[in-house]
């Protein structure tokens, strides 16, 4: 048993664990706290790319791969370049983020990293791994477990595969990243591609679906190759890196924690149920935890992390996606055709006011959404 009793254990050194670490280290009041970071992985591979929008400069600005002020939206109905000011759409590769955070640890003698496979975490603050056992006042846990589902919850998967492609000739317009392109075959599902050019010679092209099941592996490859040939006009390209993933889209309640355990990241409910976007919510969640600790407060707030009305919108949206009464591409089309993109992004960031939300709901297809809202209201 590791005899040290740490102030904080951070279980999982992914987006949430490392973000929290950075926010804790930025708090002068917490400078003397001992922190143990545990992960089964050394975090030396580029296992994902995070995209998110932000108005202000964030703490990971120096690691950004690219950022854009305008985005393209394509559907079978219309194509438009939309201005997202005051936001910027940012792209961060996980390897740059991991390296940045691990370099920070080197300057902090009170932070220890241990590579271990965690087998259990207990409300008294003890963490059991395959190599050792550890103890702390608080355990910030991002080791994911699927939350319990009930007949009233929705559970969709956001599943995707992305190619980083390279060309010998200048091919991509770095001023025209594509947020969503719904011109691909929908197969009665919700499918789109996004294209993020980081230079005239290089872009991330990612094929994404929202559905209850994933596709066969070959289907992602076929769809990506077809898109690259048809819409990017490329017959000759190299794939320098492939990323695949699945993000849970569910309104099931993620447990906040118990006793000394505080769940963070996807495990702590930071994934927005209706979009799968998580990175920005992790930043808000972890920053708030560090601030409360610095003020000598409990790390979890008495108020829920998400405001209830946004949770309700998520539930309605998940039902609309699941029941497919209106083609999903049309749902996004209704929004992007009629409203400023910045308002849509602000809504998805859960930062709109009720009047703005009225504007948003007003452009949605009324029969579809009213029916879904009524079914949600009577589901409990
Ligand atoms: C490929 C991919 C791309 C994504 N892209 C975006 C995006 O563009 N924008 C966005 O907002 N969100 C995105 N997400 C969703 C979300 O932001 C990420 O999943 C994010 O990494 C979640 O952070 P986390 O800390 O909760 O989990 P993770 O980053 O997965 O961290 C969990 C950590 O726990 C460790 N771990 C797990 N089990 C154990 C164990 N038993 N013992 C020890 N360690 C353990 C893992 O090794 C990992 O390091 C993406 C997800 C994936 C999978």
Q: Are residues 124 and 184 in the same domain?
A: no
258 pLDDT band, cuts 50/70/90, is very high
* 354-363 and 308-323 helices, crossing angle to 10°: 10
Structural domains counted in the chain: 3
CA distance 101 to 106: 9
pLDDT at position 380:
64
Q: Using a 6 Å cutoff on CB, does residue 65 contact ligand 1?
A: no
pLDDT at position 303:
57
Q: Are residues 51 and 115 in the same domain?
A: yes
286-328 pLDDT tens trace? 999 999 999 999 999 765 544 589 999 999 999 999 999 999 9
Q: How deeply is 4 buried, as exposed, middle or buried, from its count of CB atoms within 10 A (0-12, 13-18, 19+)? A: exposed
Helix (H) or strand (E) holding 362: helix 354-363
Q: Using a 6 Å cutoff on CB, does residue 48 contact ligand 1?
A: yes
Is residue 302 a contact partner of residue 36, using CB atoms and an 8 Å limit? Answer: no
304-342 as b/e, with b when 16 or more CB fall inside 10 Å?
Answer: ebbeeebbebbbbbbbbbbeeebbbbbbbbbbbeebebb
Q: Are residues 40 and 177 in the same domain?
A: no
CA distance 147 to 248: 10
**3 or 153, higher pLDDT:** 153
136 closest CA partner among 5, 296, 1, 294: 5
Q: Using a 6 Å cutoff on CB, does residue 248 contact ligand 1?
A: no
User: Does the residue 71 lie in any domain?
Assistant: no
Q: Are residues 277 and 349 in the same domain?
A: no
pLDDT exceeds 60 at position 360: yes
- For 164-173, what is the mean pLDDT? 97
User: Does the residue 216 lie in any domain?
Assistant: yes
pLDDT exceeds 90 at position 92: yes
Q: Are residues 23 and 96 in the same domain?
A: yes
Pick from 51, 97, 117, 143 the residue to mutate for probing ligand 1's pocket: most ligand atoms within 8 Å of its CB. 143
User: Does the residue 85 lie in any domain?
Assistant: no
pLDDT at position 155:
94
Q: Using a 6 Å cutoff on CB, does residue 257 contact ligand 1?
A: no
CA distance 121 to 260: 10
Instruction: Quickly count helices (H) and strands (E) in the chain.
Output: 9, 18
User: Does the residue 83 lie in any domain?
Assistant: no
Q: Are residues 212 and 137 in the same domain?
A: no
Q: Are residues 137 and 285 in the same domain?
A: yes
User: Does the residue 69 lie in any domain?
Assistant: no
Q: Are residues 197 and 169 in the same domain?
A: yes
Average model confidence (pLDDT) across the chain: 95
* CATH number of the domain that residue 29 is part of: 3.50.50.60
Q: Using a 6 Å cutoff on CB, does residue 10 contact ligand 1?
A: no
Is residue 194 a contact partner of residue 332, using CB atoms and an 8 Å limit? Answer: no
Q: How deeply is 166 buried, as exposed, middle or buried, from its count of CB atoms within 10 A (0-12, 13-18, 19+)? A: middle
pLDDT at position 2:
80
**Which residue lies with its CA nearest to atom 53 of ligand 1?**
245
pLDDT exceeds 80 at position 232: yes
Q: Are residues 321 and 358 in the same domain?
A: yes
12-38 pLDDT tens trace? 999 999 999 999 999 999 999 999 999
CA count, 13 A, side-chain hemisphere, 32: 1
Q: Are residues 171 and 233 in the same domain?
A: yes
66-80, 232-246, 286-300, 302-316: segment of lowest average pLDDT = 302-316
**Which residue lies with its CA nearest to atom 35 of ligand 1?**
12
β-strand partners of 6: 136
Give the residue numbers spanning the domain of 217.
155-249
Q: Are residues 170 and 217 in the same domain?
A: yes
User: Does the residue 195 lie in any domain?
Assistant: yes
282 pLDDT band, cuts 50/70/90, is very high
What stretches of 88-237 adopt beta strand conformation (E)?
88-93, 111-115, 118-121, 126-129, 133-141, 155-166, 178-181, 190-199, 202-211
* CATH number of the domain that residue 171 is part of: 3.30.9.10
pLDDT at position 306:
47
Is residue 204 a contact partner of residue 163, using CB atoms and an 8 Å limit? Answer: yes
User: Does the residue 302 lie in any domain?
Assistant: no
pLDDT at position 1:
73
User: Does the residue 277 lie in any domain?
Assistant: yes
Q: Are residues 165 and 277 in the same domain?
A: no
CA distance 153 to 144: 18
């Amino acid at each position: 048993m590791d005899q040290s009793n740490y102030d904080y254990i951070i279980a999982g050194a992914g987006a949430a664990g490392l973000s929290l670490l950075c926010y804790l280290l930025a708090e002068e009041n917490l400078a003397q706290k001992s922190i143990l970071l545990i992960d089964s992985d050394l975090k030396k591979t580029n296992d994902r790319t995070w995209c998110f929008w932000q108005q202000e400069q964030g703490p990971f600005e120096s690691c950004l791969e690219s950022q854009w002020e305008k985005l393209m939206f394509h559907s079978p109905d219309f194509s438009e370049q939309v201005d997202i000011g005051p936001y910027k759409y940012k792209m961060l590769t996980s390897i740059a983020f991991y390296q940045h955070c691990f370099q920070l640890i080197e300057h902090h003698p009170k932070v220890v990293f241990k590579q271990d496979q965690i087998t259990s975490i207990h409300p008294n603050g003890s963490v059991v791994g395959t190599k050792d056992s550890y103890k702390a006042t608080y355990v910030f846990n991002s080791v994911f477990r699927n939350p319990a589902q009930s007949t009233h919850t929705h559970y969709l998967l956001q599943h995707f595969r992305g190619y980083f492609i390279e060309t010998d000739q200048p091919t991509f317009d770095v001023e025209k990243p594509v947020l969503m392109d719904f011109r691909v075959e929908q197969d009665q599902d919700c499918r789109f591609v996004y294209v993020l050019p980081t230079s005239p010679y290089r872009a991330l092209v990612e094929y994404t679906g929202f559905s209850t099941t994933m596709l066969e592996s070959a289907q992602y490859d076929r769809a990506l190759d077809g898109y690259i040939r048809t819409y990017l006009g490329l017959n000759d390209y190299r794939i320098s890196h492939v990323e695949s993933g699945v993000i849970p889209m569910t309104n099931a309640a993620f447990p906040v924690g118990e006793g000394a355990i505080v769940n963070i990241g996807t495990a702590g409910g930071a994934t927005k149920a209706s979009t799968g976007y998580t990175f920005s919510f992790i930043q808000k969640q972890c920053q708030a935890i560090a601030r409360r600790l610095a003020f000598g407060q409990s790390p979890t707030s008495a108020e829920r992390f998400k405001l209830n009305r946004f949770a309700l919108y998520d539930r309605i949206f998940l039902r609309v996606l699941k029941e497919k009464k209106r083609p999903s591409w049309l749902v996004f089309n209704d929004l992007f055709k009629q409203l400023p993109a910045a308002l849509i992004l602000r809504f998805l960031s859960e930062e709109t006011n009720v009047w703005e939300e009225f504007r948003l709901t007003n452009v949605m297809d009324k029969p579809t959404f009213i029916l879904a809202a009524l079914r949600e209201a009577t589901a409990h």
